[in-house]
Amino acid sequence: MSRIAKIYVDSEVRLDPLKGKKIAVLGYGSQGRAWALNLRDSGLDVTVGLEREGKSWQQAQADGFHPKKTEDAVKGADVVIFLVPDMVQRFIYREHVQPNLKPGMDLVFAHGFNIHYRLIEPPQNVDVYMVAPKGPGPIVRDFFVKGGGVPVLVAVHQNYSGRAMEKALAIAKALGGTRAGAIETTFKEETETDLVGEQTILVGGVMELMKAAFETLVELGYQPEVAYFEAINELKMIVDLIYEKGFTGMLNAVSDTAKYGGFTVGKRVINEETRKRIREAAERVRSGKFAEEWIEEYGRGSPTLKKGMEEAEKSLEEQVGRRLKEIIERGKPKS
């Protein structure tokens, strides 16, 4: 059923396809800063393009860049990398990129959203490809500085030059991604799996599961501090074990009581009904319904997003977390 992924490693990839090319990194946030710094450290010619002077502008200057207005960065570029928020990309494209497109230019994305859902429809005479790090921007930078790299997905949407994949891989290498590995995918696969993943596990699922366990323990009269350590803080240690050694490694590190309880009760909490909901979430992503809803929400000033942030900030979990921060920090390994 499932096909075997093509994975590229550092030794098979060359930076040459991007040597001497002018690269404009649009945006200097989570990914933008990591990309601009890693690509520059890899010897590539990077200009940061931003809409206006502000926090990102100052940060870019502090890091030794001379940011330009988006339009000016694009005018001088061979390769334009979109690292502004997904909901902003189509406006930046229409206002500043499209009018300055030259045949043979490269449009590069870190997530397939705008291309897959056709919010940006580039002309035939440019290359369109993606390098999607499978981790947050600050980690992409941190791993690179320490000699490692966060794995990336690479995909080609439009191959005008015939060399789009070589260039995607060159960027993956400059980012540090191929030090781990670059997995070949499609815009559709990256976009849909990324959205389903963040909704059902990484952001939505994990947070709700932690909240459900924490709040239930508190409702049952246990001290919030004790509930916090159990239901929230300790998850990092469990996930670190899974990250380092897989499920088996994690299971080997917990007690037999925990293993037995986990095997029997986990399936009652996360059950067929949960799987049905995950499939529903995937269907909303695949049909484009989720994208439509998010674009509409963004158009109304993102009220749901703002409310979610306010609620998270005010929640008992966050209050307790802030109170325990001192203890947690004090116990972190030194060095």
Q: Which residues are catalytic?
A: 111
Which residue's CB comes closest to ligand NAD? 29
| Nearer of residues 109 and 214 to ligand NAD, judged by Cβ | 109
* Residue 255 assigned to a binding site: yes
| Nearer of residues 187 and 228 to ligand NAD, judged by Cβ | 187
* Residue 198 assigned to a binding site: yes
| Nearer of residues 250 and 285 to ligand NAD, judged by Cβ | 285
Residue 258 interacts with which of Mg ion, ligand NAD, none, CB < 5 to 8 Å by class: Mg ion
Per CB under 5 A, which of residues 247..286 are in contact with Mg ion? Answer: 258
Closest CA to 67 of 47, 83, 81: 47
* Residue 95 assigned to a binding site: no
Are the C-beta atoms of 32 and 25 separated by less than 8 Å?
A: yes
The footprint of ligand NAD (CB under 6 A) covers 27-32, 51, 56, 83-86, 88, 110-111, 132-133, 136-137
- Give the full edge-to-edge strand order of the sheet including 182-184: 7-8, 182-184, 152-158, 127-133, 106-109, 79-82, 22-26, 45-50, 68-69
3-class SS letters over 104-154: CCEEEECCCHHHHCCCCCCCCCCEEEEEEECCCHHHHHHHHHCCCCCCEEE
The answer for residues whose C-beta is within 8 angstroms of residue 277's C-beta and 6 or more apart is 200
Residue 86 interacts with which of ligand NAD, Mg ion, none, CB < 5 to 8 Å by class: ligand NAD
Which region among 71-79, 169-177, 194-202, 304-312 touches Mg ion (by CB under 5 A)? 194-202
Shortest spacing between CB 72 and ligand NAD, in angstroms:
15
Cα angle: 35, vertex 37, 40; to 5 degrees: 100
| Nearer of residues 7 and 258 to Mg ion, judged by Cβ | 258
**Residues 136/179/176/98 CA torsion (nearest 10 deg):** -90
Q: Can you say which residues are annotated as belonging to the binding site for substrate?
A: 255
Annotated binding-site residues for NADP(+) read 28-31, 56, 137
Provide the binding-site residues for Mg ion, judged by CB under 5 A. Answer: 194, 198, 258
